[in-house]
Amino acid sequence: MIKQSIITIATIGLFSMTATAANTTACAGCHGANFEKSALGKSKIVKDLSQAEIETALNGYKDGSYGGAMKGVMAGQVAKLTKEDITEIAKSIAGGAKAPAADANKTEAPAAK
55: in domain: yes
Work out how many domains the chain is built from and give that number. Answer: 1
Predicted pLDDT of residue 68: 87
Radius of gyration of the chain (CA): 19
64: in domain: yes
Count of all residues that appear for the chain in the document? 113
Whether the Cβ atoms of residue 51 and residue 94 lie closer than 8 Å to each other: yes
Q: What domain range includes position 61?
A: 48-93
Predicted pLDDT of residue 62: 95
40: in domain: no
The single-letter DSSP state of residue 105 is T
Return d(Cα 50, Cα 95) in angstroms, integer. 9
Predicted pLDDT of residue 69: 80
pTM summary value: 0.65
33: in domain: no
Side chain identity, residue 64: G
99: in domain: no
Predicted pLDDT of residue 22: 66
Tell me how far CA of residue 71 lies from CA of 10, 40, 76, 78, in angstroms.
Answer: 32, 13, 9, 11
pLDDT in tens, the chain (113 residues): 555 544 544 444 444 444 444 688 999 999 999 999 999 999 999 999 999 999 999 999 999 999 988 899 999 999 999 999 999 999 999 984 444 333 333 334 444 54
61: in domain: yes
5: in domain: no
Predicted pLDDT of residue 2: 59
